[in-house]
Structure 1
Amino acid sequence: GLSPAVFLTTTPTVGTKMSRASATMRLRRVSSRGYCFAVGSGRRGFAATASICLDWTPNTNHSGIYAAKELGYFEEEGIDVSVVVPGPEDSLTPGRKVARGHCTFAISSSESAVSFATQTKDTRLVAVAALVQGSTSSICTLTSSGIDRPRLLDGKRYASYDGRFEDAIVKQMVQNDGGKGDVAFHSLDMHGYGEDDTMAHGSVVSSYLKADRSDSTWIFTHWEAVKAMHEGTHLNLFTLEDYGIPYGYSPVLLATESTLDKDPEVVRKTLNALEKGYRFAYDNPIRAAEILVSQAKHPSLDDLSFIEASQLSISDKYLTDVVDDDDEDEGVWGVMELNRWSKWVDFLFEKGIIVDRDGVAVPRDTVQVEALFTNEFLPTYTS
C-alpha cells in the first residue's frame, strides 16, 4: 500500500561548531543578480570565468558552491565563478538563461534536461552533476488543513511553479492515491521569482500556505519544511516515491552541449572545486551554514539557527551512501546512475506526461536517456 503523510514534528539537534568527522567515522576519499557571460578569459590571475545560476534563493542545496568560493577552491582551479541569484526582475528560468548564453551553468531539476530534449533542436542541456543524492523534495500541506494524503487534494489549491511537467506529476500522485486528480492549480508569479514576499522568505509555505493563499505546493523538505518547523508550523509531507513516482535527480547542475564540447576544462575545473566544497559541507555542516549566510547575504538567511538545522538535515545527502562502514571508500559527490534516469524518463512517457505545447504526446524515441546526463567531468569519474 501507499504510505500516508509524513508528519514533520521534530526539530533536528543543532549544536555549536562541529565536524561530522567527530560524530562519524571519517572516510577516506578513493552573488550578484543579473546576467553573467557564460565563459571567457578570466580576470587577472584566473584562467577562465564561469557563472552558476541558482534555481531559488540561496539555500542549503547550494552550500557547497558558497563553501568553494569562501575557501578558495575555485581560485585553486584557476577559475573565477560568480553566482547569479534569481529575483523579481527575472523573466527567464535558470535553464533558459544557460540556453541563451547568459550563464554557464544552471541549477534545476532533471526535468529541465528532459524538457529541452523534447522541445528544442538547437540547444540541449546536459546534467553534469547531482548536487544531492536520494529524494529530497515532497508535496506539502499544513497539518492544520486536514489534507493528510494526496487524494484529499482533489478540489484543493496547489501553488505551481509552472514547471512544464509539474502539474501533471502532482495530478498523477493524487490519482495514484485513489483520487481523481482534480486539483485547482494556480500559478506563482514567474515561477515564484516575481514575488517579493516569496523571495524574501525563500519559501512558498511562508508566502502562500501560511497566508491561506493556497493549500499545497512542492518543496525541498530540508529547506522549506525545516523552516516551517522552526517557526512552529507543522506540515504533512507526501514524498513522490511513496506514491509510485520514481522521481529523478534534483537539483542537478546543467550546461549546454556546446559548453561541454568547447570548454571541457572549464566544466572540469568547476566540478573539481564544487566537489571540494560539497565535501567540506558534508564534513562541516555548521561551518557550511555560517559560510552560506556570510557569502550569500540574502534576506531569507537571517536566522542562523534555522540554517544550521537545515544544513544538518541535508549534509548527509551530498554524497552517495556508503554501504559498509568498514569500507575504506567514502561517498562520492555528483555522480548519477543511468537506472534512476531511465526509470524517471520511462515513467514520464508511460503516463503521457511528456507532451508538446499543443498537448500531443511526444514519441518515446525522441529522448535518449544517455544523452541527458554525464559523469565524465566529475573528479571521481573513471571510464
Structure 2
Amino acid sequence: MRIEIKKGMRSIVAAAAATALGFTMAACGSSNDASDNGSASTPTISFMLDWTPNTNHIGLYVAEKLGYYKDAGINVKILPTAQAGAETSVENGVANVGFGGLTNIASYNAQGADLEAVFDLVQKPIARWCSLASRTDIKTPKDFSGKTFVSFGSAEQDANILQMIKTAGGNPEIKRATAGTNTFNTLTSGKGDFGGFYATWEGVESELNGPALNCFVASDWGVPGNPDQIGFHVKKSWLNEGSNKENLKKFIAATKKGYDYALANPDKASDILVEQAKEAKLDEKLVKASMKMITEQNIWSTKDPKKVDGTFNEQDGQEYLDFLQENKVFTDKDGKTLDKAPQMGDISTNEFVD
C-alpha cells in the first residue's frame, strides 16, 4: 500500500510503510540488460522514481530536457513509482535503476535482495520529527514521551524516536497511531501528537501554507551518523551483464550534470521539472522554495556548493547502520534479527561517481 500525499508531498511514515511491504511485484516482460532496450545502437536505462516527481528527482528531468543523456549516448526512461516500491522493482528487473535510501537497501538485502547503492544525492539529514507549532507542551524530544507518534510501525523510526527521547532526558515510551492520507491532517485532527516529515519538501510546504511545525533533527539528539543518504540503487547481478557498468557510469555522469545545473540555476531547473513532469501538477512556488532551501543549506554538497558530491560517507553510514543493528532493526527473511550490522562496503559503492 502506498499513501497518496496531498499536493504530491511524501511523509517519512509513508516511505516506511512502502519499505515494510517486502517483495510483492513480479517482473513482467522486462529486461535486466539496459543494452537490450531502445534502439539497436543506443542503450536505454530505465529509472524508477520512489514517489511522485519532486526536487529530489530534478536532475533527471533537467538532464532529459537539456540533452545530457543524448550527449552521453544513452536513452533514459523515467518510470512512475510502482506500488511495491523502487527497490522491489529493481530487484525484480522491472527497472534498471531506482531511487531510494541507503537504509532501505540494507533492509532489503538482509531479507535476500541483491541491491547496491551507487549514487548518494542527499549529504545531510533531511528527516525531521515534528509536532504542530501550536503544541506548546512539546518543547524538546523529551516531551514526545508518552505521546502518540503518527507511524506505520517502522522499527527504524521507533529506534530514532526513542533514542531522541532518552537523550533529551525523557522516558522512552510512546503510543502509536496509523497515519491517514496526510500526516498534517492526522496531527491537526488530534489523532496524533508528532510525526516524521522531510524538510526539503513537507517542511517547505509547511512554511509556505501551514500548518507551522516545531521540528527536531535526530542527529542533534543522540542518533549517530546520517540516516538520510538517499540516491540511486541497482541490482548487483545487473551490473555484471553486458555493458551495464559502462552505461551506468554514463547515466550517473549525465544525471549528476543535471543536478549541478539545478544547483547553479535553481529557478530555471524548477521550471524544467514543473514542465517535464506535468502529470504531477507540481506547485511552482513549492518547487522553487524547495530548491532555494537545498541550495542555501547545501543539502546535496559538502565541497563545491554548485556541484553535487554524489558519493556516500562510509563512516556516517556505518555509524547509523550499527545504531540500527543495536536496536534490532534488521531482520532476515524469517524475521530473525541479524547477528551483524549490514556493512557499507557490501551495500554501497562510489565506483561510478567521478
Q: What is the CA–CA distance in structure 2 between the aligned matches of 1:345 and 1:357, rounded to whole Å?
A: 18
* 1:132 and 2:122 aligned: yes
- Structure 2 CA distance for partners of 1:292 and 1:214, relative to 1, 3 Å: farther
* 1:305 and 2:285 aligned: yes
Secondary structure (helix, strand or coil) at the match of 2:95 reads coil
Residue in 2 aligned with 1:217? 195
Amino acid in the other structure paired with 2:47:
I
Q: What is the CA–CA distance in structure 1 between the aligned matches of 2:62 and 2:309, rounded to whole Å?
A: 15
Describe how 1:254-293 pairs up with structure 2 within 5 A: 254-262=233-241, 263-293=244-274
Amino acid in the other structure paired with 2:105:
A
Equivalent residue in structure 1 for 2:133, among 135, 143, 150: 143
Residue by residue over 1:92-140, the C-alpha shift from the partner in whole angstroms, topping out at 9 and shown as x without a partner, is: 12211111111112211111121123221xx321110111212222112
Amino acid in the other structure paired with 1:107:
F
Q: Is the 8 A contact 2:274 2:281 kept in 1?
A: no
Q: Is the 8 A contact 2:130 2:216 kept in 1?
A: yes
Q: What is the CA–CA distance in structure 2 between the aligned matches of 1:188 and 1:105, rounded to whole Å?
A: 29
Equivalent residue in structure 1 for 2:322, among 333, 337, 346: 346
Q: Is the 8 A contact 1:139 1:216 kept in 2?
A: yes
- Structure 2 CA distance for partners of 1:148 and 1:292, relative to 1, 3 Å: farther
Amino acid in the other structure paired with 1:130:
D
Q: What is the CA–CA distance in structure 2 between the aligned matches of 1:235 and 1:187, rounded to whole Å?
A: 19
Q: TM-score, normalised by structure 2?
A: 0.81
Residue by residue over 1:164-196, the C-alpha shift from the partner in whole angstroms, topping out at 9 and shown as x without a partner, is: 52333323322332333332334457xxxxx5x
* 1:62 and 2:57 aligned: yes
Describe how 1:194-213 pairs up with structure 2 within 5 A: 195=181, 198=182, 204-205=183-184, 207-213=185-191
Q: Give the % identical residues.
A: 29
- Structure 2 CA distance for partners of 1:85 and 1:282, relative to 1, 3 Å: same
* 1:47 and 2:42 aligned: yes
Residue in 2 aligned with 1:294? 275
Q: What is the CA–CA distance in structure 1 between the aligned matches of 2:153 and 2:331, rounded to whole Å?
A: 15
Describe how 1:220-235 pairs up with structure 2 within 5 A: 220-235=198-213
Q: RMSD in angstroms over aligned alpha carbons?
A: 2.6
Unpaired runs of 5+ residues, structure 2, are: 1-26
Unpaired runs of 5+ residues, structure 1, are: 1-33, 190-194, 199-203
* 1:105 and 2:88 aligned: no
Q: Is the 8 A contact 1:130 1:335 kept in 2?
A: yes
Q: TM-score, normalised by structure 1?
A: 0.75
- When the two structures are aligned, how many residues end up with a matched partner? 320
Q: Is the 8 A contact 1:58 1:298 kept in 2?
A: no
Amino acid in the other structure paired with 1:44:
S
Q: What is the CA–CA distance in structure 2 between the aligned matches of 1:299 and 1:338, rounded to whole Å?
A: 34
Q: Is the 8 A contact 1:155 1:184 kept in 2?
A: yes
